[in-house]
Amino acid sequence: MSTEAEDRKLATRTHYRSILRSINQTICQLETDHIDQHDAKRAGIQQRSMSLESKSDNPSFFVPYEDEYVHSDDDEYPTYEPDVEDRLNVGQFHYYMQDWCGQSYPEDENKPEGIRFRSRAELGLGILAEVNNHHWHVSLICSAPAVTGPLPHVKCLMESEATGDNRLLRSEIVAIIQTMVARLNTKSLRPHIVAPVMLYSLVGPQHLRVLEAYFNGKNLIIGQTKLYDMRAKDMATIDLLTRWWLGFAKGETKSITVAPSS
């Protein structure tokens, strides 16, 4: 028999899922790839700047992997080709990052990474993609390994044909919300009411940014890094991205500790 506290938490999770679905519907009704900041705010999304380099603006629910790691194969880097359609350049870069993230692992097996690759079915997710009018899809999905119990944190790698700028993309918001709603509807995660999502978003012409999202009880908070220009191989940036991909979950997810924003 459930306790009164458990019932309240279940009601909170149901309420949060409803709000997130409403935000998703509002964004989708705009029928645009790029979401202007005033439209995002009106929908219930609060944007903030985020940095993977500066500790003062680091993600709130994830930390990087600090130990040594290795990569099993050094594929040829897909240098940007200006005479080729951007969607093809992004696609080739996506294949590279998908392979790189999927085949990077700790050098010392006694210092494990903070991710576990999962299928959509394992996480109760449907198809994370659109092919009509809006073109994007999520390829890799990872959850945090259970320590004292299952954790709600998820990381995703996605590709969009849209050109990146300072605005959020429909694809990013939809992928985040669908993932978050699924985590808030997972039985094993019932103690948790916050379901953080870290999203590696590959966009045109051949750029990448990292987003972190969580719902604070009132708004969907989305932090976004700068757009990393990946038209030429930049191993310092690839190393930075790899460390955050392999890194660990952190933060309070069983209660709301961030004051609701106006």
**Averages of pLDDT over each 10 residues, the chain, 262 residues:** 81 97 98 97 98 93 96 85 96 96 93 94 93 94 89 98 97 98 96 98 98 97 98 97 97 75 42
Give the position of tokens 């392999």: 246
Return the ∠ at Cα 252 (arms to 251 and 258), rounded to 5°.
Answer: 100
What are the boundaries of each domain within the chain?
A: 4-249
**Bridge pairing between strands 220-224 and 45-49:** parallel
Question: What is the pLDDT at residue 61?
Answer: 97
State phi, psi for 190 to the nearest 5 degrees: -55, -30
Q: Which of 3, 4, 5, 16 is nearest to 216 (CA)?
A: 16
Give the position of tokens 């705010």: 41
Question: What is the pLDDT at residue 261?
Answer: 43
Helices (H), the chain: 4-28, 37-43, 86-102, 170-183, 235-246
Q: What's the rounded Cα separation, in Å, for the pair 184 and 78?
A: 38
Question: What is the pLDDT at residue 239?
Answer: 97
Tell me the CA distances in angstroms from 104 to 205, 245, 250, 260, one per residue in order. Answer: 25, 9, 21, 37
Question: What is the pLDDT at residue 15?
Answer: 97
Question: What is the pLDDT at residue 73?
Answer: 65
First CA to last CA distance, the chain: 37
Q: Is the peptide bond before 205 cis (omega within 30 degrees of 0)?
A: yes
Residue type for position 168: L
Q: Please tell me whether the overall predicted TM-score, pTM, comes out greater than 0.85 for this model.
A: yes
CB 90 within 8 A of CB 130: no
